[in-house]
Amino acid sequence: MFGKRSNDPQAPKRIAQPQAQPAPAMRPTESGKAASATPASAPPKPEPEAQPQRRHSEECYDVKTTVFNALIDTIDLTQLAKLDAAAAREEIRDIVSEIIQIKNVVMSIAEQEELLEDICNDVLGYGPLEPLLARDDIADIMVNGANTTYIEVNGKVQRTGVRFADNTQLMNICQRIVSQVGRRVDESSPICDARLPDGSRVNVIAPPLAIDGPALTIRKFKKDRLKLEQLVKFGSITPNAKTILEIIGRVRCNVLISGGTGSGKTTLLNCLTGSIDNDERIITCEDSAELQLQQPHVVRLETRPPNLEGEGEIKMRDLIKNCLRMRPERIIVGEVRGPEAFDLLQAMNTGHDGSMGTLHANSPREAIGRLESMIMMGGYTLPIRTIREMIVGSIDVIVQASRLRDGSRKITHITEVIGMEEDVVTLQNIVVFEILGEDANGKIVGRHRSTGISRPKFWDRAEYYNEEDRLAAALAGSEVVDANGNVLGEANG
């Protein structure tokens, strides 16, 4: 026993943390209820239904409100927060059963269980988000205010029936999430990045910046990142292109992975690091540690946002600069967003071959442009030609990831940076994905083909690492694949 009912004077007092408190007496609307009960339920009409939605009578919600309010009156939430999840659940279970008895509520065992589950989610966890967080097939969760939640499954964004009682409940949940990493989100600091205990990345932007209520975005952490073999199985890439990527990773090309949001950049970066030899010293710099390197000799670094007083920020630039004093053999940068592009290029230029990073762009050509502007953002007054020469001298390969309109993710380009013609950086595609059309189910049909380049610029490197035969064979083959990634036959590059 604990809390208000407890008379244990020893019970340690938790530091008051109002933001960590659960939603005050939530108004269990139909939506809130449905949300907790049916994970993938769809909204009443407009979007396609993922799963049939259970209907709940008004009575049900009234019962929940009654029980919930009684519970909130009975327990001491700060004490509850001290217990581990299982114990807290037990505690709630006891009290809820008691309340049900006292209030003389007639409920079946199943109904009681469901009620208990909902209440536990509201009090202890992330409320209506819980069922979504529990699903492994979801890549992103996007909450746009209390009434609208979208998820991304298999590359497709779909609306769910998940709703919050109101924006206050949603805000409380946001607050609980960010308070776990020692931050808070409110009117005075309405933007906040955080992480869930499972490693999922979270962004919150609250009113008044978010006009229609708090916007919460969660990129769910995948315990097992996809491997290259799986990308082949999904048809994101062909077996030959996989081999080419493995060689590029192994022979220490400097690689930039380009792609849109959620196109699979981090996944691809993680795959590429898979071909790094075990005896190399690797240092990773990320805003939020996502990479899962398998090698033994890895140092992982993470940036830090400023604290509440606006102090103590450690930026990506700081990390990369520090990296250079750590005798790295490879530097892996999770995402290049700003002036740190300059530092990464410098590192690549100065003997840290095989460094890699991702960047947000829609084509290899655009990636070059983005790099240029990021370097200029850093306040360098270098002539554009100098910047381009620096890019050409640093980046060997750009790999482009894309999420196509049917939701499938493809590696659409493996492209080399080969030099300059006049003032223009010259690129050379090695493998490209061509869209041929759509099948009856709206699935994009296309094929990866090699462009017929038999001696890429990194050929010498491949030779040095004894990979030239494997490379030649992979370059020579160019399969045609159907939408499911099945190899249909050979095409002439």
Ligand X SMILES: Nc1ncnc2c1ncn2[C@@H]1O[C@H](COP(=O)(O)OP(=O)(O)O)[C@@H](O)[C@H]1O
Q: By the 8 A CB rule, do 207 and 188 touch? A: no
Structure-token match 């700081």, residue found: 318
Q: By the 8 A CB rule, do 285 and 269 touch? A: no
Tokens of 15: 């530091």
Name the helix (H) or strand (E) containing 343: helix 340-349
Strands 255-259 and 356-360: parallel
Measure the CA dihedral 268/411/246/414, to 10°.
-120
Residues that bind ligand X (CB under 6 A): 139, 222, 226, 231, 234, 236, 259, 261-267, 409
Residue 79 contact among ligand X, Mg ion, none, beta carbon within 5 to 8 Å by kind:
none
Nearest-angstrom CA–CA distance, 475 and 466:
16
CB of 444 to ligand X, least distance (A): 13
Closest to ligand X by CB, 335 or 467: 335
CB of 212 to ligand X, least distance (A): 25
Residue 409 contact among ligand X, Mg ion, none, beta carbon within 5 to 8 Å by kind:
ligand X
Binding window for Mg ion (CB under 5 A); candidates: 95-103, 104-112, 132-140, 260-268? 260-268
| Chain residue whose CB lies nearest ligand X | 264
CB of 321 to ligand X, least distance (A): 24
CB of 237 to ligand X, least distance (A): 7
The residues, ordered by sequence, that sit 6+ positions from 126 with a Cβ below 8 Å of its Cβ are 133, 173, 176, 177
Q: By the 8 A CB rule, do 48 and 158 touch? A: yes
The residues, ordered by sequence, that sit 6+ positions from 233 with a Cβ below 8 Å of its Cβ are 485
Closest to ligand X by CB, 222 or 470: 222
Closest to ligand X by CB, 95 or 151: 151
Closest to Mg ion by CB, 175 or 266: 266
Closest to ligand X by CB, 222 or 281: 222
**What DSSP character marks residue 311?**
-
- Residue 175 as a binder of Mg ion (CB under 5 A): the answer is no
Binding window for Mg ion (CB under 5 A); candidates: 140-148, 200-208, 261-269, 367-375? 261-269
**Nearest in space to 131 (alpha carbons), one of 144, 139, 121:** 121
Burial of 325 (0-12, 13-18, 19+ CB in 10 A): exposed
The residues, ordered by sequence, that sit 6+ positions from 286 with a Cβ below 8 Å of its Cβ are 300, 301, 302, 303, 333, 334, 335
CB of 52 to ligand X, least distance (A): 26
Closest to Mg ion by CB, 290 or 467: 290
CB of 335 to Mg ion, least distance (A): 6
Closest to ligand X by CB, 139 or 395: 139
CB of 260 to Mg ion, least distance (A): 10
Residue 33 contact among ligand X, Mg ion, none, beta carbon within 5 to 8 Å by kind:
none
Closest to ligand X by CB, 259 or 456: 259
**Nearest in space to 78 (alpha carbons), one of 1, 122, 17:** 17
Q: Which residue in 41, 238, 266, 450 binds Mg ion (CB under 5 A)?
A: 266
Residue 234 contact among ligand X, Mg ion, none, beta carbon within 5 to 8 Å by kind:
ligand X
CB of 234 to ligand X, least distance (A): 4
Q: Which parts of this chain interact with Mg ion (CB under 5 A)?
A: 265-266
